[in-house]
Amino acid sequence: MLKFENVSKKYGNKQVLDDVDLFVDDGEFVFLMGTSGAGKTTLLRMILREESPDSGKVFFDKKDLLQYSKSELPGIRRKIGFIFQDFKLLESKNASQNVSLSLDILGKSAKQIKQLVPELLKSVGLSEKGNNYPWQLSGGEKQRLAIARAVALEPKLIIADEPTGNLDKGTSWEIINLLNTLNKENGTTIIVATHDETLVNSLKKKVYKIENGRIQNA
């Protein structure tokens, strides 16, 4: 599924990643740990090829990401659902419309979208919130909506970058449990970047930890 091989990255004089090796197999749930500024986001951006390594290789579906042309990148990115700490929802669209846009990107028909949107909202516990705009939702509901939008793309991989960073403890557990359910029931590969050791220690999943630009099994 995903492999980092001897990946290094510098910004100016700062070595953000230093000879990083990482492997995530199909269907795994993996935590990526590290303090703020440790390089987690840089690593995740490389998976989307929004950043490129100075040296080393990043493989997705057994192919070096640098070998994909610019015209091929949108197709690759549609295989990856990305969930952000600050949600990245469209404030001018209600919950149903936010999800509909992802389905439209996949080329679903209007009839299919009409059928799938309620199913996706139900899957994240937002059946009654389809007409609500992001500003009318709680932080936890916004993150659930972001997950529904990501799942709508039918991704092989979901990446969550500090998905509980703006949430209280109880809501954080709800979001992690929802991601865990997606992993177990759909077989979706999940990578969660976090600095919350309590969440990580509770689920007994594979953990990679970034320290001083290097990554290791925690």
Query: pLDDT tens digits, residue range 90-107?
Result: 999 999 999 999 999 889
Collapsed DSSP state (helix, strand, coil) of residue 161: strand
Residues 208/22, Cβ–Cβ less than 8 Å: yes
Q: Which CATH number describes the domain made up of 1-79+156-218? A: 3.40.50.300
Query: pLDDT tens digits, residue range 9-35?
Result: 999 999 999 999 999 999 999 999 988
Widest distance between CA atoms in the chain: 53
pLDDT reported for residue 18: 94
pLDDT reported for residue 66: 92
Q: Is the pLDDT assigned to residue 217 strictly greater than 80?
A: no
The boundaries of every CATH 3.40.50.300 domain in the chain are 1-79+156-218
122 contact partners, CB below 8 Å, separation of at least 6: none
pLDDT reported for residue 141: 96
Find the mean pLDDT for residues 144-155.
93
Q: For 57, left (φ over 0), alpha (ψ -120 to 50), or beta?
A: beta
Tally Cβ neighbours within 10 Å of residue 31.
Answer: 23
pTM metric for this prediction:
0.90
